[in-house]
Structure formats: C-alpha cells, structure tokens
Structure 1
Amino acid sequence: MDSNLNGDGVAGSQWWTTGANHDSLDPADAPQQEEDSYYDQLSSHTDDIDYYSLLALPRDPPPTDAQIRAAYRTLTLSFHPDKQPPHLRETATKQFDRIRTAYETLVDPKKRVVYDMLGEEGVKAEWRARGAMGMGGEAEKLEVGVKAMDQKQFRSWFLGVMKKRERKLLDDMVGSKGSIQLNIDARSMFYRKFDGSSGLRVPTLKATSYTVGYNFKTPFSPSRWIRLSTREDEKEEDEDEEDKKYEKIPDASEEETELEIHAGIGGKLQHFKQVVEFENPDTGKEETQEILLPLVLISQNLTLGATVRHAISPDANGGAARNALKAGFGGSIIEVGGSILPSPTVHTTITKAVPLVKGTRPLQVSLQTSFSDSPWKFPPTFVASATRQFGVRKIAFCNWGSGQLFWPELVKTIFSPVVSLGPLEDTTLIHSGQPSKFEIGLVALPLRRPAHSGRRAEDQEEDLGDEDMDPLEHVAIGNSQESWSCQIHTSPAALQLSVNYARNLFTSKPEEPIWSEWNQEGYHPHSPSCDPRPVRLEIVTTIGVDLSLGWMVSGTRRFGDFTRMGLGIGVEGHKGLVFSLSWNRLGQSIKLPIVVCPLEFVSENLSTLAVVVPWATYSAVEFCVLRPRERRRRRQEIARQRKRLRKLVGKRKADSAQAISLMREQVKRKQAREGSRDGLVILLAEYGVPPSPRKKGDKDTESSGEMIDVTIPMAALVDQGQLVISHKVIKSQILGFYDPAPLRPKVLRIRYLFSGQEHFVEVDDSEALMCPMKSHLER
C-alpha cells in the first residue's frame, strides 16, 4: 500500500508543478473574462468560512442533528487539544475552536436559521447586545420567549423582525415626499434690434412663480384597534393563543389601510410698490416716492387634504356580512379622501380587476366620484378609467371625465317641494368646475422579467410570455429599457396628441431598481453593480388642434444610490424655449424651469443648438473624464483585491498545513484499518487547476497548473468504507483544503484502492463525489 500520507501539502505526482505563483489572478492570465466580470468576482470573494463545508455537510437538503453531531465527533478525534502532543496543542486549540463554533451554530436550530440568511457575522450581530437575540433586543419584548418556538415559528418571527427594521429604515429615509418648483424668466437675454435681427445680452433673471408640495403616508387601521379591544373584552374561547404570542412577518396579501395627508401651495410671484410720503429736509416740502416691496406669492393653488386607502383581500375568512362584502369587492382598492382647501371637497374611488373572459388578463376598472360643493347645488362629478395589458409590454388605457354637471330641470322639479336644487343665480358664472375630458392611449413598457426572489413569490413567473404576467411586478431587462407611449386628449377647450419616447444611453446593462431585501422567503441581499450609470433619455412631444408643436428633450442620471439629476430643453406652450434643471432624492424633488428665449425668437437652428450642445458636452465629460476615472479606480481596486487574495491564499495554506499535521496520525491509523479489510484506501488526492497543454511552438509541453495535495483531508472523510461529498459542499473550505487559484475552475482528482484494485476519479468543483464506484475502476 503506497499511500502518499506525508502531510506536507504538496503532491508528489506529475500533476503538481512547483514554481506556480498567484500572479495568475491577473485578468490577462485568468480565464478569458471581461474586466467587469472579473471585478465582480474579486469583490464577491469573501474571507468567511462556510460552516457546512467545514463539517463536510451539504446545505441542501439540510443536515439532521445526528449528521451534524457525527461530523463533529469525527473531527473531534483529530483536532481535540487533549489528543495532541504539547507542541501541537496551541494549533489544535485554534482549529478546534473553529469546528466547535460551526457545530454550535448548526446544531442550534435558531442560530442555523440566522446563519443561513446572514452568515457568520449575522449570527454574531444578532446575539450581541441590541441584536434581535441579545440584551435589549426584540426577543426580550416577547410575551413568550424564543425558547418556546420551534424552528418554523422562529424563522417567521425573525423575518418579521428584520422586515420591521427595514421598514423603519425606509420610513426614516422616505417617510415623506416634498417637491419645490421655482419658475425663472430669462427671456430678456434675447432682444430685437432696430434692423429686425435678434441680439443677445446678459439676462436679468426674474422669479415668476413658485410651487411647493408635501405629503406623507402612515398606516391607518382603526378597525384593527376596535377588533383587538373586542377580543380583550370578549375573550373568545376558540381563539388560537399560540398564534397571538409570536410576531409574524406581514403578508402582502393581508388587508392594509394607509392614510395619506397632502398639502401644497403655488402661485405667481410679484413685486408690489408702496407710495410713501415724506418731508424733504433740504426743501421742507412734502414729496412722494414709490418703494419696491419684497416678492409676494399670489396663491392660485392652495391645497390641504387627506386620503384613506384600503385594499380588500379576496379571501373570504370573516363573518357573513364581511364575506358578502368580499364577494362583490374582494381584490378591490377603495379610496376615500377630502380637502378643506381651497374649498371643501370629498371624493371616493374604487379600483377592481374585472376578467372579461375567465382565464384571460383582467380589465383594471376605476371609478371616482367627487363633490366639490354642496350636493344641493351641484351633482357629483365622475371619472372612469379602464386599463388592460396586451402582450408582454403593451398597456392600453381609456379615461373619461364628466366635468362639472348641473342638476337636470326634471330632477329640480321633482324635488322642488322638498329642497331647492341648483346653484344660486349669482354664483353660477363664477363657479370654477373641471371641464369634461376623454383620453385614450397606448403605452409600451420596457421588456421585463420576473423580479428576483426578494419579491413576492406569487408574482414570479418563469415565462416572459405568460398571460398572467404583471408588468408592474417585474424588472426591466435589455440594455436600453426602451419605452414609448401615445395619447389623444379631447376636451371642450383642447384637442391634443402626445407622443413620448424614452430609453437608456451609455450603458451595457439595464439599471435595476432597489428592491426590498427581506420577504416571507428569506433574505435576498443586493449585489453591487460596477457598470456605468446610464442616462435616461426622454422625448415628449405634443401637437395641438392648430398644429402647434410643443416638445421637451430631457436626460436624467443617477448619482450615488438614491439621487437623480437631470436637464431638459424644450418648448412649452407660449412660454418659449425652456431649460429645466431637476434634482430628486428619495421622494424629495426640486425643479427649476428657466425660460431663456421668447417664442418669437425660437427657430430650428436655435432649437437644434440648444439640444446638441448640452448633450455633446455631457458626452465629452462622460467619456473623457468620468469613464477613464472609473476605470482607473476599478484597476486600483482590482490590484487591492488581488493583494488581499494573495494574503488570503497564504493564510489558508498555512491553516491547511496545520490541519493536515493534526490529522496525519489519526488518518494513518484509520487508513491502516481500511487496508486490513480491503476497504477504501486513498492513495493520492489532489485539488486545484490541472496543467493544460501549451500551444504548438512553446518551449514547454505543458503549462504550470496549481494542484495541492489533499490526500490526508480526503482520507479523513472516509466513513465505513465510503467517501461521499455533496455537490453543495464548497470543496475549498473542507478542513485541510484551501483554494490555490481563486476565481479559476478547479478539479478534484483521487486515486484510491478498494478490494485490492486501483480506482481513479476526477470531478469538477461543483460535482458530487461518491466512492467507491465500478465506473472508477482502471482497466
């Protein structure tokens, strides 16, 4: 029996070639990859140790407690400090502490739940002070402690805790939304000369109007408060007390009610003059002079109101009256709102999906009624809309508004003995009502795919062509994220055609939104992207009934994680040429439209120049400044990551040598017992990147590979004449292993004896291994 159990960590076969260094981590020497992909792989290569692989156990299916204890007991025989000579005791203690930590984490059902989601650091954070399980954490606030929970109940409770943390963070960041718009007039920059030509001069900037708006949303569940009070008073016997004790993660399908409060003010800014009389001290006469007062806001739009929004669950799980309500309105969204400024108004909206034919996409129908004055004066106004998806991308919509209505004469006559209907004669002409309207249009959204598993599972579909796919619950794919829309608007005052087009520029990948990281299925962290930020180009055009053309070309770009800035150029109505600057962050927005040229001076050449110059300037900055700076930063980061990986490889190599030295004697005795009964004896095992043949003309016939000797670690895993490693096990993190060539595909080669016959097997890093097998027999 010629087993290579020298334990020096270097293979003695032809597969190992000395002198290989870790400069192969350079992108040029690694397998052919794009720089972006290589950067992503370097950044995602962590120093964390996988506890499952450390114990040679698979994650899926989850190992049983018996399997975990058996793996721990096997490793204890080799690494327990009491079983080592004095000169190896310190090394054995270090290795044994890692094994014991992995065992204590995986054998504890609650720690294993947290570890599977958040890893080693997550377990430490949640069990320290202020963590969910630590002193002052959420576990202390429970009526019944987490020790009384089984694994399923604990998982549900922990997901609820993390979801609440995330919601609190979001509330702190985007608990409210505000907007500011300041219109500036700079049309004095252009003037007409005596000869009829136009000239330029330094403009005098003048603020013309100002608008500010604010709104915030908050949960609003008075029915839940009433229901909880009733339960406390009545103490229903059939109530499941166990379910009340544990906090559960909110279900997206549960009924939710929210209250939205909004306020705003906007109007023109004007300077007023005041005539002042004073006595001239020089002449002693009374004189008058006009004094320019500060800007005053003349409000034309003052709003203050609130809206309550409630989603009715389609599930019938209440009393008879509740089930009857859900039978007609299940799956609907009901809104009730009102305003006290500028005048008292009340509105009600109901939205429901109505399938025209069973098994087809439903028609989203919405109906709104509103009272803007006393119902004795004017009947309610109505707004109806219908929306339906066609294909994967397209959505058609139709909107109708009744405008201000008046009570018919017949109705007035019928109710005249009871009440006088209709407005007062002196208020009929001054009452400002909304005009009637009719709109129809088609929207094409960007091509979409199902959202990642961080979204609701019931919303995910595997097939892009699925008839039930909701485009609003999927993320866009495709580099450009192209979208367009067209709409026809008619009213007594106008007839207008609008055409919009939008797409991403300067990018090779779509920009995905930031989704929630926690849901009912678990934790789904975001993967950082190193791709260049795209510019979102939007073109809006409108054509009136008199063929007047309005247009706006705008571009927005994200800076940082949550901030977007943009610039727009276009012609708006009769204002003229407008430059619009915008800033948006987490629902807070600022917009500055600047009118730079009167409509009479706008020409094709000026419009083209106004669009081309900013875009050419930004393109020059993007490709001459931003992109080169990002590439330099990325190369520096790659160099730092390569240096970190080289240190990590050296550290893991030293740990591997220590583990092998501790296992060597125990494994030799174990292999001797296997050999005495013609069992499974590992002759040679190697792990890493095998040598590859060089091209014709090269001096050497083979290129240098990076293979390490793992004979002893493999022999340590032999149990009752069998060696089984799941494909879920990370081979480089098995005790005694290390990764000699990070980011490169590796193989595991084993030569072993069984029943006195020599076998050989080679598996990839992601393949499972089972020995012995007849297919491994060498012929």
Structure 2
Amino acid sequence: MADSPRRDRGDSDRVQNTTQPQPAVPHERQQRPADSNSRRVYNGAQIPVDLRSMNSRYSLNEQFASSRQEFQFGDEDEDEDEDESDSAEPTQETPPVSTAGAAAGLEEEFSQDIQDISDAEISQLLQANEDGFADHYTLLGLSRVPPPTASQIRAAYHRLSLAFHPDKQPQYLKDAAERHFARLRLAYETLAEPRKRVIYDVQGEEGVRIEYGQGGAMGPGGESKMQLSSVKTMNAEEFKRWFLGVLHRRERSAIEALVNHHSKFSMRLDASDTLMGQTRGFRSSDGVEISLPTQYLRLQEVGVDSSFTIPLPKLGRLFETPVSSLRQSFQSQSVPLTEDDEMVSNDCADALGPSVPELVITGGISAGFNEVIATMPQRDISLAPYFNRTYAIASHQVGFGAALQHTFPQLLGNGNGNSIASLLQGTGFRLETSVLPLQAYTLLSVDKSVCIIPNTTPFGVSVTTIVKDSLRLRPPDLLISIQRVLGLRGNPRGYFIWASGENEWPSSISQSLSGAAHSNLAYMVRWATQGRKVPMVKLGADWGFNREAIGDDDDVNGAPSSGTNVSVQAQAGSTELVVSYFCDIFSKYTEPPVRSRVSNSGEVLPQPTGPPVHRSRGTLLEVEARIGFPASLGASITGRRLIGTFSSVGLTIGVAQSWGLYCSFSWSRLKQNISIPVALIPLEDVTTSAVLLAVGIPWALYTATEFAIIRPRIRSKRRRFLKAQRAKLRLNIAKKREEAQQVVALMHPSVEHRQAQARRSGGLVILSASYGTKGKDGVLVDVTTAVASLVDAEQLNLPRSVDRNKLTGFWDPVPLSSKVLVAKYLFGGKEHFVEVGENQSLVIPSRAHELR
C-alpha cells in the first residue's frame, strides 16, 4: 500500500530547524502540519517536510478529513488525537533518516571529479542555473504542445488568479502576492492575445517587449506601421506568416551586412633559394659572371578579387506579378505611383523566405613579376660591376564584370498561377558578363531539380553556356552537371560533368552564318596565348563530409566528420584520378547552435535547450592525391583550424607538377579569403626527406602547441567554470526553494477551500504529492499544494512536455538527476496512488491508480 502518514505525538516529532532559508511568515503559520512526519521514508528516499508547514492543512484539515480514521492531526489538534488514538489504522514504522544525509549526498555530487562530467551534464548545469522565470505556459500549468485553446488559457488564469490576488492575502504576504500576480497577469495577457502569443512562441518574453517597443515590429516606427493592410486585421496564422517573414528579412540583412562584400587576396612567393642553399648567378651583357646575394623570398604573383551584391526587390515583385497584369501595364499608360502606392503589400513582400534577385559586381586584378637586374661597370674593370635587383610586372590581368542571379522559390499554397515566378518555380539562373577587358564573355547558367520518378530523390541538373567569341565564328561552350544523392542519409553523392570544350562550326554552318569565309585570327590568337579548352568528362562521388562545417560558409548543417571524395576526369590527351580523404582530429564538435530561427519553408526552428557548450576546436585534415595519365603525380596535405566563430586558418603542404614542393598559408572569415602559397623546392630537387621534413615539422609544432598549451588552458578554464557554476547552483537551490515556499503560502487558502469543496462532493482531492529522486540517497520534497492547484474540473492533466521544475510551487531539490512525481489522492471516496517518471504524463483520476 502507499506510504501512509503514521501517528506522531509530542514535541519530539516537531520539524527541526534547518540552515535553509525560511519564509518571512508569522510563527503560528510555521508550525508543523498535522499530517507531517519529519522521519518519513518513501522507497529509500528521504522526504523533507519543510514545505508542509505551508500546504498540508488544506488536504488533511478536520473540516473534510475527520471521517477517515487514518488522518491524524498534530499539536494544535492534540485533544482530538487523544480521542481517536485507539481507532487509528496501524501503519508500518520506518527508521529515522537524518536530513543531513541528503545534503551531504548533494554536496558529494557537486564535489565529484570534473573530468568525469559530460558535455550533456554541463548543458544541464547551465540550464539549471538560468535565472529567468518560468515561461508563461508553465506558469499557467499549460503545455505548449498541443497549443492550449483560448478557453483553457482563461480557465487557468482564473483558477490561479483567485489564489494570488493581493486583496485576498494577509498584509505580510501582500508584496509577494503583488509580485506573483503581476507575473501571472503578464502571462495571461501575452498568451490570450494571438499576436503577442506568436511573438512569444518565437522569441520569448524579451522578444515581446522588444517587438512592441520603439522600433519593434509592432511598436512605433516598426514594420507593422509600414503595411498597406493593417496587421491588426490578420488572424493568428496570417500574422505568424507575416512575422516570420519580418524575422527572415532581418536575418538576411544582418548576414548581408557581414558577407555582402566578398574579397580574396593571394600572393605567390618562392623560397627555393633559401632552402636549397644555392647561390644564383647572373651574367651581365659584357659577359661578367655576378653572384647574387641569397634572397629569402622572391615575389612571383599577386592578385586581388572583390565583389559586392546589390539586391533588386522590385525585380522580384515584377516576377511575381501575373502576366496579364504585366501586359496591361505595358499596353496602357499608368498614372505615376505615389509613395504610398509603392509600399510593399502583405501578400507580396511579406512572403516567407523571399528570394530577391541580386546584381553582383565583380572586379579583380592580378600580376606576375619577373626579377630585373641592372648592372653598371666600376672604374676598376677588374672589380665586379655594380648591380641593382628589382621586380618588374611581366604580365597582368584586369577584370571587371557583373552578374544577375536569382532563384525562384517553390510556391506554397495559392499563388499567381500565370506569373513568371510560378512558371519558373524551383529554377535558379545566373547571367554573367565581363565589361573589361574589351574581349568580353557572357555566361548563362540554369539550375533545377528534376524528379524523374515521383516521391524519389530528385536529380540536380545544371546547364551552363559560355560565349567568348562571336556566334558567327564558333559555337558557345556548353557545360552540363548532374548530381544526385545515392544513399539514404545523403551519402554518397554522385555527380557527372560534361564539357564541350572550344570547337568550331562545321564549314557549312559557318558559311551560312557569315555568308563568306571568315577569319579565325581572333580566337586563334587567344588559343595560342591562353590555351584551348578541350572536351572533358568527369565522374565522381563523395561520402559523408560537410566541407563547410569548419570553413567560411553559412550553411552549417552539422559537425564535420570523416569522409572520402573520388573523381575521375577525362579530357583530350589526358585522364586524371583524384582521391581525397577528410577527417577531424583532436576533437569532436558539439551540436552547433541554430543560427536562424526560421527555416526556408517558413517553420520555426527548435532552439537548443540551454546555452551551447564550447569545446576544444579540432583540426580539419585533408589528404589529396592526384594521378594523371600518361605521367602526372601530385599530392597535398591540408590542415585547417577555427580560431573564432567565423575565422579559420590553414596550412597546405603539397607537391605539384608545376610548383614542386610548396606550402600555402590561408586565412578566411566568411567570404573574405587570403591565400599565400610559397614555392619551397623545385620538382627536380624534391626528395623523400624534404617531403617528410615539410610535413613533420609543422605537425610536430602544432601537436606540441595543442597538448602543451591549448588543452591545459581549456582544462583550467573548464575547472574554474564548473566550480563557479556548481557554487551558483547551490545558491539557486536555496533561492528557488524559498520562492516555492512563498508561492505555496499564497496559494494555500484558495487551494484549501477548493479541496474542501471537492471532499464534500466526492471529487478529486490530492492527499499528498512528492517530487524528487528515489533510492537510498534520494530526496523527495512535498508538492501537495502545487499539484492540487493544477486540478481543474475534477481533473489533472500534466503533459510530459511541461518542465515540472518550473511549475508554480515546485522546486528542484536535486538538479541534474532524473526525478519522479508521486501522488496519493481521493476520488469518489476511494484512495488512489500513482507514480510517474520525468518523461511520463500525469493524468488523474484513473481507475488504474485505485488501491484495492
């Protein structure tokens, strides 16, 4: 049978004073309740009864419990106990358990070796130390999923407002009542108003204050004031779509402020003289041999590329306009639009995840350098002549271009069926052309997902054509790329690429286009100077690696993992096989925080529980090998490491046919990149020892830095952090316990009255409820009043999604532990008993709980 309170008498059974804080209430309200037992044990878990002084009189009050013999009363009811002592039901005696045992166990848990604590426990520790109040749903005893109705919100507020109203509280509890009632009213006003509720579900209480404040979406000067149609006329679903569109545009603007300007700087250096230890010689015009001093680094090439993006929202709205409307606007003379007419309407600009056309302006310059040595003979011809060494630009390239790009989104629901956006939905295009130099090129690229068989993974098809010369002279280049996910979880991904190369029109077509034989001089000169692109076929696959996870892209879907990429490329005269392997060493990345609150489909993304746990950043290692036929070999090893949220540095050691042994230093932040390759040793002088030294020295230096400096520093910071968090948690336990006592004291009269009425009518009466951990070192705290306050219409439904630690009147005696909720109740005059775990719902009354 359930644990029944046994009969206790005398002063020896009074609750002992503890060091934990007590509520500031009169002495008569702090007396031990009639049914409490300071030495009770449930399933080996000690049950502190400090809270019983605030909540037990309602459940075992003589007004509705005198008809049952097992309910006994304490000191102030001593006379009634004397009369009923002979008829009381016998209960099993339990040995006394010291209250110091639980505290010692808790302290021992806090003092465990911090090296054994996992990242999940650290996340729970951070979450337990959050100082914010319970969310509005939990405050009203409601669940977020499924969302409560308006009537449920009103009923919960009415039930709790009766308990917390300041006018119904004694003078010494008025301040606390006003504070808790203000929180309760704020929760009701937020959830009862559909627009505030949408904002609260996405951004929380602080978001509601910001959005209704100056400059917020609903405040003065906000987005709602710029609407052509009033936001106040929208229903909840329409407002949600509008508000998520506002958030999406804000996030896009913030990202564009960071990455709207892309730049890349590269510099090529040569350090072969220093490493080889050779002295270079120079023969002057008169035949004198001059030994040049060793130069540590020789500059070979410098290049800078830059681009910036200009959004074109009006062009996007033009794409979404029906074709019939466009035809009418072009055929008729329209009245000039006023400033108010140019406002963005709700059904156009406020769509979720708008894809706005963009104009990208690009520019770049690169130059190669040669060493120039000037000599001047001395008066004494027997002496070596004077010389001066400088650099001169051997070749340079200047480029300036523009590109128009846009991706038509997939339209959901009702849309303009005959608009350009509806006809091209899911299609992306890019039109690019060069302005300088004068020999311009034009590129057109079209991308689209094609699903051959319904309900299967689509193929990603991309067709690109490049026009470099007049179409009268030769056909444009054509590039076709097809890729598809081959596995169940996105791996592997296969792809096929075909390029036509640079060809000539057949003579018959060429003569028909030009009317006469034409001169091939223009592009023959370009083929001779820049090389001719030949047809190419490439087939490959890559497995399970998110390359951008440690790099500078924003689309981070998960942590990096090891994987392999394989590709075969065939073109006229040669075939190349490329195999690369990727892995993350020294560390595993934790789940990254969600950077966007809104997905591309318009849904609210779930936010991670608690603050993210920062761990040691690992190193992304990439090994690549290239084998070309008939005779070409190349290999490289690249290591990259994050040094900030968006910044990373890298080092590459490799051997290439044209470079020899080289190393390359790189730095990247979002879309800004700096690359400095340095040639070390010519290919003919590369030896196995040189390669091993080039790879081994950086590896040894980084390994020593990682384990001698970085790791000890992280462990030291981790120790200090955990020590501070555990000390904070101990203070928070006492603080939340005191707050729970205050709340229970406020609810006590109202809940007592309602339970008395339920007792007389044979309804649902909560006799006792405990919350905490079980076992030998477990701690259970009494939450009878808190559970009884949730009873509505003789029912209690506590979904598992509700955080019970934050329910009104609850507090967590043992954080970071799995807890149970034990309840004993009367319904229809019969006793019931139930115990539910942390991930179980509590639904009472239930016939399965009846004690027989």
TM beyond 0.5: yes
Question: Which shifted more, 521-530 or 596-605?
Answer: 521-530
Write the mapping of 1:743-762 to structure 2, written as runs, cut at 5 A.
Answer: 743-762=816-835
Structure 1 position 213 matched with structure 2 position 305: yes
With over 3 angstroms needed to count, the CA separation of the structure-2 counterparts of 1:545 and 1:27, relative to structure 1, is farther
- How do 1:167-182 residues align onto structure 2 when only pairs under 5 Å count? 167-182=252-267
Whether contact under 8 Å (1:118, 1:523) holds in the other structure is no
Alignment of 1:301-320 (within 5 A): 301-312=397-408
Is 1:736 aligned with 2:809? yes
* Counterpart contact for 1:3–1:683, Cα < 8 Å: no
Q: Which moved more, 1:565-574 or 1:124-133?
A: 124-133
2:533 & 2:343 partners in 1: Cα distance?
Answer: 57
Contact map agreement 1:486 1:500 (CA 8 A) in 2: no
The CA distance in 1 between the partners of 2:343 and 2:403, in whole Å, is 36
1:14 to 21, 24, 41: 41
Could you tell me which of 120, 126, 135 is aligned with 1:37? 120
The answer (yes or no) to whether the contact 2:535–2:572 under 8 Å persists in 1 is: yes
Distance in 2 separating the partners of 1:72 and 1:3: 37
Q: 2:667 aligned to 583, 591, 604, which one? A: 583
Q: For each residue in 1:219-274, what CA deviation from the matched residue of structure 2 results, as whole angstroms up to 9, or x when unmatched? A: 33564465779698779xxxxx999346765445x765332222211121245578
Kindly indicate whether the alpha-carbon contact (under 8 Å) linking 2:242 and 2:352 is maintained by their aligned counterparts in 1: no
TM-score (norm 2): 0.76
- Residues 607 and 242 of structure 1: CA distance in aligned 2, closer, same or farther (over 3 Å): closer
Alpha-carbon RMSD across the aligned residues, in angstroms, is 3.9
Deviations 1:354-382 (A, max 9, x none): 45556654444433332222333333233
Instruction: Summarize deviations over 1:50-76 as a string: whole Å, max 9, x none.
Output: 211111112222222222222222222
8 Å CA contact retained: 1:480, 1:505: no
Counterparts of 2:166 and 2:590 in 1: how far apart (Å)? Answer: 54
Contact 1:153 1:246 in 2 (8 A): no
2:362 corresponds to which residue? Answer: 262
* Structure 1 equivalent of residue 507 of structure 2: 409
- 1:641 matched residue in structure 2: 725
**Deviation of the 1:537 alpha carbon:** 1.0
Contact kept, 8 Å, 2:562 with 2:581, in 1: the verdict is no
Distance 1:157-1:298 versus aligned 2 partners, 3 A rule: farther
Matches within 5 A, 1:373-522: 373-392=469-488, 393-414=491-512, 418=515, 420-424=517-521, 432=530, 434-446=532-544, 475=557, 480-492=561-573, 494-509=574-589, 515-519=595-599, 520-522=602-604
Residue identity over aligned pairs, in percent, reads: 32
Does the CA contact (< 8 Å) of 1:378 and 1:405 recur in 2? yes
Aligned amino acid, residue 499 of structure 1: V
Shift of 1:587: 0.7
> What is aligned with 2:747?
663
Q: TM-score, normalised by structure 1?
A: 0.83
- Cα deviation digits, residues 634-692 of structure 1 (max 9, x gap): 222122222222222222111111112222222222222222233332222111123x1
Distance 2:621 2:474 in 1: 45
Does the 8 Å contact 1:347/1:371 carry over to 2?
Answer: yes
What CA distance in whole angstroms lies between the structure 1 residues aligned with 2:190 and 2:593? 34
Pick aligned residue for 1:350 from 423, 427, 446: 446
Bigger mean CA offset, 667-676 vs 156-165: 667-676
Give the conservation status (yes or no) of the 8 Å contact 2:586–2:619.
yes
* Structure 2: runs of 5 or more not aligned: 8-28, 49-98, 280-292, 336-341, 380-384
Change (3 A) 1:251 1:11: farther
2: CA distance, partners of 1:296 / 1:579? 24
Secondary structure in structure 1 of the residue aligned to 2:225: helix
Q: Which deviations, in whole Å up to 9, do the C-alpha atoms of 1:136-171 show, x marking residues without a partner?
A: 322232234432222112211111111111111101
Match of 1:189 in 2: 274
Question: Contact 2:274 / 2:296 at 8 angstroms: preserved in 1?
Answer: yes
Query: Which stretch of the first structure deviates more once superposed, 303-312 or 68-77?
Result: 303-312
Taking structure 1 as reference, are residues 313 and 632 closer, same or farther at Cα in structure 2, changes over 3 Å only? Answer: closer
- In structure 2, the partner of 1:465 is none
Q: What is the alpha-carbon distance in structure 2 between the residues aligned to residue 78 and residue 355 of structure 1? A: 60
Moved more, 313-322 or 337-346: 313-322
Give, in whole Å, the separation in 1 of the partners of 2:846 and 2:314: 67
1:459 matched residue in structure 2: none
Distance 1:415 1:67 in 2: 77
Change (3 A) 1:720 1:431: closer
Task: For 2:851 and 2:522, locate their aligned partners in 1 and report how far apart those are by CA, in whole Å.
Answer: 107
Alignment partners' CA distance in 1, 2:841 and 2:220: 42
Looking at structure 2, the residues matched to 396 and 685 of structure 1 have their Cα atoms a distance apart, in angstroms, of: 59
For residues 425-457 of structure 1, the C-alpha deviation after alignment (integer angstroms, 9 at most, x for no partner) is: 996575745321313231223168xx9xxxxxx
The answer (yes or no) to whether the contact 1:487–1:497 under 8 Å persists in 2 is yes
d(CA) in 1 for partners of 2:301 and 2:181? 72
CA distance 1:569–1:733, shift in 2 (3 Å): same
Question: 1:306 and 1:116, CA in 2 relative to 1: closer, same or farther beyond 3 A?
Answer: same
User: CA-to-partner distance for each residue in 1:270-314, whole Å, 9 max, x for gaps?
Assistant: 45578999xx9x9xxxxx987666x45444432221222233567
1:87 to partner: Cα distance: 1.9
CA shift digits 1:78-133 (9 cap, x unpaired): 21111112222112111211111111111111111111122222222222222222
Look up the equivalent residue of 2:631 and give its one-letter code. Answer: L
Larger radius of gyration: 2
Question: Structure 2: how far apart are the matches of 1:313 and 1:671?
Answer: 58
Aligned length: 720
Kindly tell me: are residues 719 and 638 of structure 1, through their superposed partners in 2, closer, same or farther at Cα, counting changes over 3 Å?
same
Q: 1:454 corresponds to which residue?
A: none
Which one-letter code corresponds to 1:740 in the other structure? Answer: P
| 1:137 maps to amino acid | G
Q: Does 1:130 align with 2:206?
A: no
Q: For residues 452 and 801 of structure 2, what CA distance do their matches in structure 1 show?
A: 47
Which of 81, 93, 102 is equivalent to 2:187? 102
CA contact (8 A) 1:142 1:245 kept: yes
Residue of structure 2 equivalent to 1:158: 243
Rounded to whole Å, the distance in 2 between the matches of 1:389 and 1:583 is 31
Partner of 2:141: 56
Report the more deviating stretch, 520-529 or 119-128: 520-529
SS at match of 2:41: coil
Q: Counterpart in 1 of 2:691?
A: 607
Measured in 2, the distance between the counterparts of 1:437 and 1:81 equals 84
Q: Is 2:226–2:343's contact at 8 Å kept on the other side of the alignment?
A: no
Match of 2:282 in 1: none
Distance 2:589 2:228 in 1: 49
Quickly say closer, same or farther: Cα 1:312–1:145, change in 2 above 3 A: closer
Where structure 1 has 5 or more consecutive residues not aligned to the other structure, the ranges are 195-200, 236-240, 283-287, 452-471, 693-701
Aligned-residue offset at 1:741: 1.6
Which residue of structure 1 aligns with residue 849 of structure 2?
A: 776
Distance 1:85-1:397 versus aligned 2 partners, 3 A rule:
closer
The 3 A distance-change label for structure 1 pair 616 and 108 is same
